[in-house]
Amino acid sequence: MIKLIASDMDGTLLDDEKRLPDDFFTVLDELQSRGIRFAVATGRTYTAAEHFFPEKYKNAVSYICDNGACTYHNGKPVNVNFIDNETFRELVRTCGEIGDLKPVVCAEKGVFHLPDSEEFNREVGRFYRNHKTIESFSEDIGRVYKLAVCDMLGTMKHGKPALDKAFGERLSVLVSGEIWMDVMPGGVSKGKALAALMQLVGASRAETMVFGDYFNDADMLSLSDWSFCMANGHEDVKKLCRFTAPDNNSGGVTSSIKQFVLV
């Protein structure tokens, strides 16, 4: 019996217009009635994820945010990781030295980036609410959970290899899209956070269902006997999964839940 369902958001649970499936809350209500916990596992920060769900579901949904740097369960943070100040300053400096890397900093006091084009602001706005422009990352933004780095030259071939070479195991660099990657403290990932949540709710790999579409979902997909890559997902990620779900624009997550769980 399934006890826990975890789903990525962008490209997985959400359609290309950033909308939940039409039947999502009907499905969530049925999961609640059966005692099945639903979790979103996302590169988004908490404030950019929780607003999708009305207040009455605050304790019904768990949130693995910032690609595993911060987890909320029953409305409270239960697993939080920060990048230390010295490493953060070095990371921002290195992004500038590599060139064409534009950091978006997810921190305690909000989501921040340096002045840039309207095109860049719109791209950031696709994923982060109320992001703010600041003149310098030396401003007081609180402790830093992660950096979402935009790389128009392509993360897989340009930014990720350069940051991996510069920081090694000190930081965890995960590709979340063709032009986006997330940088967290070393050892942090969706998979590590999901493993902790599985232990918290008492769910084994046979009792956990996971949905994803890209490389930053890979380690959490490996934790489940019920691993689903979306039809629109990366072909290499599909090879890691037991099942393929319909694409994100077809409500693939909820249709698969209805097919395999709500029967």
Query: Domain boundaries in the chain?
Result: 4-80+189-260, 85-185
What pairs with residue 39 in β-bridges? 6, 62
Residues 6+ apart with CB under 8 A from 83: 91, 144, 145, 146, 147, 171, 183, 184, 185
d(CA 224, CA 207): 8
**140-152 confidence digits (pLDDT tens):** 999 999 999 999 9
**74-85 confidence digits (pLDDT tens):** 989 998 999 999
CATH number of 85-185: 3.30.1240.10
Per-residue buried b or exposed e for 71-98, using 16+ beta carbons within 10 Å of the residue's own CB: bbbeeeeebebbbeeebbebbbebbeeb
Confidence of residue 59 (pLDDT cuts 50, 70, 90): confident
Tell me what pLDDT residue 128 has: 86
The 10 Å Cβ neighbour count of residue 130 is 10
| pLDDT tops 90 at residue 68 | yes
Tell me what pLDDT residue 176 has: 86
Tell me what pLDDT residue 250 has: 98
Residues 6+ apart with CB under 8 A from 30: 262
Give the class (CATH, top level) of 4-80+189-260: alpha beta
| pLDDT tops 90 at residue 177 | no
d(CA 185, CA 81): 7
229 and 212 Cβ atoms separated by less than 8 Å: yes
| pLDDT tops 90 at residue 130 | no
| pLDDT tops 90 at residue 52 | yes
